[in-house]
Amino acid sequence: MPLFRNDTGGKPGYHSRPACATTAAGNVRFITMTTSSEHTSFSDPVNARILAVSEDRLQGFQPDPIGEISRLSGVALPVVIERIRAMLRAGTIRRVRQTLLATNLAQGALVAWQVPEDKLAGAFDTMFQQDPFSGHVVIRTTDTVSAASKYKLWTTLKVPTGFSMDAHCRFLMRQTGAEKYLLLPAKKLFVLGVGHVRRRGLEPGSRAEVLAEATDVAVVEMTDHEWRVLEALKREFAPEEIASNLWQARAQEAGVSLDEFLRLAQEFDRRKIIGRFSTFLEHVKPVAGGERVTRFNALFHWAVPPGREMDAGREVGRHYIMTHAYWREAGPEFHNVNIMGVAHGTDKGLVLAHKAAMDTHLAEAGIPVLYTNVFWGGRSEIKPSEISPIAYRAWCAGQGIDPETMRG
């Protein structure tokens, strides 16, 4: 089975049966090996090459995402398929899916919840297990205590256009015993990506030469036919579905031809509602062999003077360690924080060193920081938020709710 293309080179010790082959053009040489599904660690050299691409480098819609992973990683296609299947079965990869820019498909917000301590675990379970519209569910604490420290449960929420985030949160309050919530919708997006494997070993302060781009948040209207295609497009892949032609079966599922499916997917991309094709790793929980991809999940808060939000967001968004960066208005309980970002790492001191480098960078850029804090993630679960209005109406029916009462 071919392993590497010659433009990336092979590694001694990973080839059980070395051999060479060239294309007719003479520009591709393969090193071969016999692989095994035992290769499920994210630190395995071959897997690391695959994951460095597959986590977050396939932006937009890819007609042949697995082939593109092979091309960019230099790992031969059959090996890419085998390794992704093996890592998915072992739990090293928690899901494989085409992501969407959900901020452009549904109303969304980060939600901070005040929940009595004795109800916190139950509220967490409800949000994760019973609400398909809550995505990330995280218990967070702070090293520096403030009024905002009372908000220990943090979730992401998406509600389809025409329905109300406040109505949805009020329903969840009744279900969980939460005392208060704050909706923190994004006004601008500066960074959205993961790439934990390629971020390992980054030096504090490592950043791009150019400012991060700011993305507007604007909801796109969709027809029911488009939603049916989109639902098939975004559904997670099972291990046996990982193959060179991913979209044929999804086109059949949506009831359209492959050509129509690809045409619509490319149209969705042009309308800026397609995110990336990605293999998602577990953030904190142990995976195959007891390894952890990361150990610490930090939500950084900065308050900068009004009018400097774009400048600050584009500066912190340059730092490679950041997986998310947004402009969100948090209000007086959070000391008027307006820039938030997320970083992960295996060492808390190193995560704080990255934060300190960003603080220094903001000062050097002439952007005052009026307040800052770090909310550390503890117990966490992550799932894609449902965003379809079809699914929302079905959920309402299952809860015995008149959908009209959930509208804004």
Provide the token pair at 175.
């279900």
Q: Is residue 53 part of a domain?
A: yes
Considering the domain architecture, whether residues 202 and 316 belong to the same structural domain is answered as yes
CA torsion angle 141 143 149 154 (round to 10): -30
Total number of domains in the chain: 2
Do both 108 and 75 map to the same domain? no
Count of Cβ atoms closer than 10 Å to residue 195 Cβ: 19
pLDDT of residue 34: 39
Please list, in sequence order, all residues whose beta carbon lies within 8 angstroms of the beta carbon of residue 372, skipping any fewer than 6 positions away. Answer: 300, 301, 302, 303, 359
Distances, alpha carbon 148 to alpha carbons 160, 182, 191, 235, 291, in Å = 28, 11, 24, 36, 33
pLDDT score of 402 more than 70: yes
Query: Which one, of 59, 389, 108, lies nearest residue 230 by Cα?
Result: 389
In a domain, 65, yes or no: yes
Q: Does residue 192 share a domain with residue 293? A: yes
Same domain, residue pair 142 and 171: yes
Residue 25 makes CB contacts below 8 A (sequence gap 6+) with none
25 has a pLDDT exceeding 50: no
Residue 33 reports pLDDT greater than 70: no
Q: Are residues 32 and 121 in the same domain?
A: no
Task: For residue 268, tell me if it sits in a domain.
Answer: no
* Residue 370 placed within a domain: yes
Does the pLDDT value for residue 265 go beyond 50? Answer: yes
Q: How confident is the model at residue 201 (pLDDT cuts 50, 70, 90)?
A: low
CA contacts within 13 A on the Cβ side of 82: 16
pLDDT at 3 over 60: no
pLDDT at 36 over 90: no
Residue 235 lies in a domain: no
In a domain, 202, yes or no: yes
Asked if 109 contacts 165 with a C-beta cutoff of 8 angstroms, the reply is yes
Residues 292 and 204 grouped into a single domain: yes
Task: Please tell me which residue, 281 or 244, carries the higher pLDDT value.
Answer: 244
Tell me the longest C-alpha to C-alpha distance in the chain.
69
Domain boundary among 35, 65, 90: 90
Query: What pLDDT shows up at residue 4?
Result: 45
Residue 96 CB neighbour total at 10 angstroms? 23
Domain edge (last residue) among 51, 68, 90: 90
Domain for residue 305, yes or no?
yes
pLDDT band (50, 70, 90) for residue 42: confident
182 and 314 share one domain: yes
Do both 50 and 179 map to the same domain?
no
Are both 23 and 141 inside the same structural domain?
Answer: no
Taking the CA atoms of the chain, what radius of gyration do you get in angstroms? 22
My answer on whether 65 and 10 are in the same domain is: yes
Where in the sequence is the domain holding 154, given as residue range(s)? 104-213+284-381
pLDDT tens-digit series, residues 119-133: 999 999 999 999 999
> Rounded to whole angstroms, how far apart are CA atoms 284 and 156?
18
Out of 24-33, 52-61, 95-104, the most confident range is: 52-61
The 10s digit of each residue's pLDDT in 86-108 is 999 998 998 999 998 877 888 99
For 349-399, write each residue's pLDDT tens digit.
999 999 999 999 999 999 999 999 999 999 999 888 899 998 999 999 999
Strand order in the sheet with 153-160: 180-184, 106-114, 153-160, 134-142, 371-381, 296-303, 339-345, 322-328, 186-192, 215-216
- In this prediction, residues 208-236 reach a mean pLDDT of 91
Per-residue model confidence as pLDDT tens digits over 123-163: 999 999 999 999 999 999 999 888 899 999 999 999 998 99
Same domain as 76, residue 132: no
CATH number at residue 118: 3.30.70.3460
What lies within 8 Å, CB to CB, of 86 at 6+ separation is 37, 38, 39, 40, 239
Q: Are residues 67 and 150 in the same domain?
A: no
**How much is the mean pLDDT over the chain?**
87
Residue 396 lies in a domain: no
Which of the listed residues 90, 121, 155 is the one where a domain comes to its end?
90
* Residue % of the chain over a pLDDT of 90: 69
Examine the pLDDT at 207 and tell me if it is beyond 70.
yes
